[in-house]
Copies of this chain bind each other. A is one copy, B any other.
Amino acid sequence: MKHVKHMQLQARMTVGKLVEEMNAAGVLGAGRIGKATNVVTEMFSNSDCTVFLTLAGALVPAGLRRVICDLIEQEHVHVLVTTGANMVHDMVEALGYQHGIGTFAAEDKRLKAENIGRIGDIYIQQEAFEALEKWLFKTLDTIPEEKRQRFATAELLYEIGKKIEDRNSILATAARKNVPIICPAFVDSIAGFQLWVYGQDKTMHLDPLLDVNALMDKVYEAKKVGIIILGGGFPKHFALFANTFREGVDLAVQITMDRPEPGGLSGASLEEAISWGKIKPDGKSANVICDVTIAFPIIIAAVLDRLRRR
């Protein structure tokens, strides 16, 4: 039996060093951070490993846009599976709007009167979504009608990404790096409803079965698969289930605050995924029970540290 090694802290220690301390402690939340860092390091340092990153929750509004973008830029992430909302927030920031620091104790009636939408303690002006609609309609007009006859969301997001000039945009970076953005429930986002409005007058048909194609191409061509699951939601299920067609993923990390006991998939442990063939029986996995905005930056900063030292 390995012993818990007590952590030691000091001024100027690197995140990499802190995570080494956590890993040596080896238990509870700290131990999970340590293990997750080991698993992600293995994903990122194996050039045979296709890495899926799934996004659910307000990650872009919360300040993780650049982190996600850099992971794509640095070619650590090869497939993005995401809620529509995160892509909407990415577009809105590309248009120059910014998310604001608010409070959970907000008076929501007043926010409504001021045309501010609240996401936890994050504020965003409704004006941003009006600007998005204009920009989106203009952008859609530039896409040949033929494509709009039966569009994969992945293709649509690729086309959108090509039109964005912001270097810190996830959509733009993914388009440039040929990282597919899989978002079969894109219609469940503000932009999705805007597509619907656009489609009242003009040609606009989506077919999410085409997105399964895009996803399965990546699954079938992968030698090894690693997956980082942020927050759960349908992106978790979609990415994991696709991997049942290849005997499951090899390496998996999830970060979520949801509990397993109520039975929803977001809170389900990665062990459960083994029963379904989503994760290989001998795969390595780590369940981190933590706010994503805390755990993800720590783990990624520590992984970058380790990769540099190799």
Interface, chain A (partner B; CB < 8 A): 1-16, 18, 21-22, 24-31, 33, 56-58, 61-67, 70, 83, 85, 98-102, 104-106, 108-109, 111-112, 116-123, 150, 168, 184-185, 187-188, 190, 192-193, 195-196, 199, 204-209, 211-213, 216, 231, 233-234, 237-238, 241-242, 257-268, 271-277, 281, 289-295, 297-298, 300-301, 304-305, 307-308
User: Which 3 pairs of residues, A with B, have the shortest CB-CB distance?
Assistant: A29-B291, A25-B63, A185-B185
| A195: chain B residues within 8 A (beta carbon) | 209
- Residues of chain B lying within 8 A (CB to CB) of residue A290: 29, 290-291, 294
- The answer for the CA separation of A161 and B195 in the assembled complex, in Å, is 29
| Chain B positions within 8 Å of A120 at CB level | 27-28, 260-263, 268, 272
- How many identical chains are in the complex? 4
Tell me which residues across on chain B come within 8 A of A67, comparing CB atoms. Answer: 6-9
Contact A272:B63 (CB < 8 A) given known A4-B100, A4-B122, A9-B297:
no
Q: Is the CB of A119 within 8 A of B205?
A: no
A212–B274 alpha-carbon span in the complex (Å): 35
Question: Cα distance A24–B7 when bound, in Å?
Answer: 27
Q: Which residues of the partner chain B approach A21 to less than 8 Å between Cβ atoms? A: 297
Assembly CA distance A122 to B33 (angstroms): 16
Which residues from B are CB-within-8-Å of A64?
6-7
Could you tell me the distance between the alpha carbons of A62 and B300 in the complex, rounded to whole angstroms? 23
